[in-house]
Structure 1
């Protein structure tokens, strides 16, 4: 009986690993195709796309597509713009939304539940319905910069950052996570005379590594993949992000090899950010032990 039970466990384990490998291939193969295609001429890329050669480093490989991508568009500038806009937005969003979530969970003020309900209701409002009203607003808002007072936020970094700092999903994530923290910790801190901000900074945030990592990854993906809003509000090349820069490669005859090289280049920051946050996420779970 023990031998039969052991064989069944091994069979289930083998099936589980097989399913996990298949799921991993679903995500890895498109990336492998993109990277391999970025080193092939466009004609070879299209010819190999109908066979397994598309995933293998075979044929005439070179860096010509990468050279052509940098000649066709200011790739470095676009990547910098996206990293700057995305990184700034993520940091400000984590700060503002975590403070908002803290106030909704631990502070008692009039209209709290109504305000949270309104924020959650924004989930069902598609961005396309508010894009034009938001454009009209940001086109006439004042801004005090180093060169003095100016009107309108178009063609700037701030128009790509400020409207996206606070959002309902990130606030909701923090609210749900903070509700699961032991209330005894907050009460003990209050008895010791800690202010609400000290509780937020020294008690709540150190215990919130998983939700911070999750919210950062989701926000990063949303901001890095922005296309419609930058396309509307940014006309100057010096402020364009990577997704808007992709249209440079579809003018006249699309250069598919250069497109794959460009996609490979702009995917590197996403993978790097995810790997860093993944390590932080795992470390925070391993080191944060909260007993209720």
Structure 2
């Protein structure tokens, strides 16, 4: 498994090492083992020259900040909405519950492109173009995330809820005081899935956030290819900056992530 992990890490290692090299060195080392060996410089500044030039060429910090607001906003509101929907479908009895669950699951197979135009028209009519609201709100509710929460909550011990009811706790109180504190694995799993899915979004932010100050990191990366000549060392530096937040959230939540995937396969 370690051997396979190293193989999967090769592209990341190459990207990181190449971000420290000049364009000439990148192409010179392309066909040798030196592609994975960092260069030797006399000063620390030389190692980060591509990063400094990339930040001067494109406002990557602003774009990264926009991506963080966009992605974290979807995660924050999505965890609340999707977890409450999943809990209701797993633990509460109400008319046509199975029907609504089937409808929610059916929406997963609908291609995102098929609703792109009507979704944009709706956002435009609300006056949400070039706003964080227009970026975030359409993606808060997610059928797959509701399904993951439901699967996790189905396997939750009913005795805890019954004890809470005997103590006079309301359904809302049970959810926020009992369920959420004991459901860290599934919350972490959904957070990672959501972050990865939306951190890499390109088309929706491109259309809805067409103002330069609202653009996200994935759109900002395209500037390095649109402006000639293409500086590959700077491209690798920018890609590294764009990759760091995604790696950080996975490393931080990986223990809960694995546990959450295990529990979401539970059945009644």
Q: Does the CA-based 8 Å contact 1:213-1:277 persist in structure 2?
A: yes
* CA deviation after TM superposition for structure 1 residue 160, in Å: 1.0
Q: Does the CA-based 8 Å contact 1:94-1:216 persist in structure 2?
A: yes
Q: Does the CA-based 8 Å contact 1:40-1:59 persist in structure 2?
A: no
Q: Does the CA-based 8 Å contact 1:209-1:281 persist in structure 2?
A: no
Distance, in Å, in 2 between the alignment partners of 1:73 and 1:58 is: 25
Query: What secondary structure is seen at the aligned counterpart in 2 of 1:139?
Result: helix
Alignment partner of 1:52 out of 19, 33, 54: 33
1:138 corresponding residue in structure 2: 123
Distance, in Å, in 2 between the alignment partners of 1:130 and 1:43 is: 45
Distance, in Å, in 2 between the alignment partners of 1:254 and 1:102 is: 50
Distance, in Å, in 2 between the alignment partners of 1:63 and 1:198 is: 51
The aligned runs of 1:99-138 (5 Å cut-off) are: 99-138=84-123
2:22 corresponding residue in structure 1: 41
Distance, in Å, in 2 between the alignment partners of 1:50 and 1:117 is: 53
Distance, in Å, in 1 between the alignment partners of 2:30 and 2:144 is: 39
Task: Indicate yes or no: 2:239 matched with 1:263.
Answer: yes
Query: What secondary structure is seen at the aligned counterpart in 1 of 2:222?
Result: helix
* CA deviation after TM superposition for structure 1 residue 284, in Å: 9.3
Q: For the aligned residues, what is the CA RMSD?
A: 2.0
Per-residue CA deviation, residues 88-120 of structure 1 (Å, 9 max, x unaligned), is 211111111100011111111112211111111
2:265 corresponding residue in structure 1: none
2:159 corresponding residue in structure 1: 184
* CA deviation after TM superposition for structure 1 residue 129, in Å: 1.0
Task: Indicate yes or no: 2:200 matched with 1:219.
Answer: no
Distance, in Å, in 2 between the alignment partners of 1:284 and 1:158 is: 29
1:206 corresponding residue in structure 2: 181
Task: Indicate yes or no: 2:143 matched with 1:158.
Answer: no
Query: What secondary structure is seen at the aligned counterpart in 1 of 2:47?
Result: coil
Structure 1 residues 115, 283: closer, same or farther in 2, change over 3 A? closer
Alignment partner of 1:253 out of 216, 224, 229: 229
> TM-score, normalized by length of structure 2?
0.90
Distance, in Å, in 2 between the alignment partners of 1:198 and 1:248 is: 49
Structure 1 stretches of 4+ with a deviation exceeding 4 A read 279-285
Q: Report the number of matched residues.
A: 257
